Amino acid sequence: MGMTITQKILAAHAGRKFVEPGELILATVDMVLGNDITAPVAIEEFEKAGATKVFDNEKIALVPDHFTPCKDIKSAQLCKRVREFAKKHNIKNYFEIGEMGVEHALLPEKGLVGPGDVVIGADSHTCTYGALGAFATGVGSTDMAAAMYMGKTWFKVPETIKVVYNGKRQPWVCAKDLILYTIGNIGVDGALYKSLEFTGDTLKDLTVDERLTITNMAVEAGAKNGIMVADEKVVEYVRRRGKKEVRVYKSDDDACYEKILEYDVEAIQPQVALPHLPENSVAVDEVSGIQIDQVVIGSCTNGRFVDMKQAAEVLKGKKAHPYVRLIIIPATQEVYKRCVKEGLMDIFLEANAVVSTPTCGPCLGGHMGILAEGEKAVATTNRNFVGRMGHPKSEVYLASPAVAAASAVTGKITHPREVV
């Protein structure tokens, strides 16, 4: 019997020729990631256990991004804890204000993750890196602490669900729409502790940035990880960023899948996920006209340059509705600089948007756009749980940058074709 990409990567890191779903293995890791919320807990556990040295100071990344620039004393203390640990252990991949970005946009950009890697992060959206052909998954802070010391961690090998996207996308259908449609189809627990392996002809037309959007939200279907084959686009992407070792794995023809889901992309319309779950995904035309108070374009899901460009295409020459707060957050400094260089920043500012330094900010209800009671927001973020962006009686509607930008112009949920 053959193996899937996920099985092959885990087997290689466990020093095994074959692993099967359900098996418990001890595997080495290529990167351990923490942020300003999760790393302080991991650091405390690391020190409580008596550890005095990290396993490899080049294979740990610490990125204060959730509450930064620090919004209050508590967040400042958390960041200080991370900063002091990074200094003490000479952590090479420590990125703070001025160099930092939203962690899951920053690490691929810096060339720190790539095909064939095993990456764990004390953040659920670590699954993002699967678009680069890596096995990447979120873990708890105590698991992060153990991995910082040992360079290894335990995994239960997941079963795999193959998701096949075929066909040409309709105008204004983005990668975000494909994953929202999929989650709407299988539900938020439809891939519980499974590996979601994305494939199909449609992916070939997607940029690496767009693919990262899809794997980012694999966890919103309950998946252990999301993953894609690292094709020539991905290999060129990671090599251009300086990553030396590239190990490309492909699933065997006789690999065993728990199920195979096939989607005709031509039938998929721009999507909106209604409150309060990502699975409440419907075509935008079904909910057009819902009045909104705020639009957020950014996050580890849709804060990359391709997302900024999609938003700018819709906003060019237009103004945000006078009663809508339009907040745009480039995910990294590099994305921010490119927006300036290519004129996108002028478009955003002329549209009366506020543009923030890179931060997770409002995505998790941190800062830079908290919702009051009864307010509604369209956001390109990944979750719309109760109280996710502020008051428990506020509402978040998930959408692509194109739908979010169009909605900002009209003041209500809107298909981009109505604006452009």
Q: Which helix (H) or strand (E) holds 138?
A: strand 135-138
Q: Which helix (H) or strand (E) holds 297?
A: strand 294-297
Q: In this structure, are residues 324 and 294 in contact, taking their beta carbons and an 8 Å threshold?
A: yes
CATH classification of 273-418, choosing from 3.30.499.10, 3.60.20.10, 3.30.70.890, 3.40.50.11540?
3.30.499.10
Distances (CA, A) of 236 to 114, 198, 239, 240: 11, 20, 5, 6
Indicate the Cα dihedral angle 72, 78, 84, 90, nearest 10°. -120
Q: In this structure, are residues 351 and 378 in contact, taking their beta carbons and an 8 Å threshold?
A: no
Half-sphere exposure of 409 (CA within 13 A, CB side): 25
- Would you state the pLDDT for residue 310? 97
Q: In this structure, are residues 253 and 171 in contact, taking their beta carbons and an 8 Å threshold?
A: no
Residue with token string 């989650």: 183
Say what the pTM is.
Answer: 0.95
- Would you state the pLDDT for residue 242? 82
First CA to last CA distance, the chain:
51
In the chain, CATH 3.30.499.10 covers 5-243+255-262, 273-418
CATH topology of domain 5-243+255-262: Aconitase; domain 3 (3.30.499)
| Sheet with strand 325-328: strands edge to edge | 281-283, 271-273, 395-398, 376-379, 294-297, 325-328, 354-355
| Sheet with strand 195-199: strands edge to edge | 225-227, 195-199, 160-166, 259-264
- Would you state the pLDDT for residue 1? 83
- Average pLDDT per consecutive 10 residues, the chain (420 residues; last block may be shorter): 96 97 97 97 96 96 94 95 97 91 96 96 97 97 97 97 97 97 97 97 96 98 97 94 86 96 97 97 96 98 98 98 98 97 98 96 94 98 96 98 98 96
Q: Report how far residue 17's alpha carbon sits from residue 242's, in angstroms, rounded to the nearest whole number.
A: 29
Tokens of 398: 């998930």
Rounded to 5 degrees, φ, ψ at 234 are: -70, -45
Contacting residues for 29 by C-beta, under 8 A, at least 6 apart: 13, 59, 118, 119, 120, 147, 151, 152, 153
Residue with token string 């995994």: 155
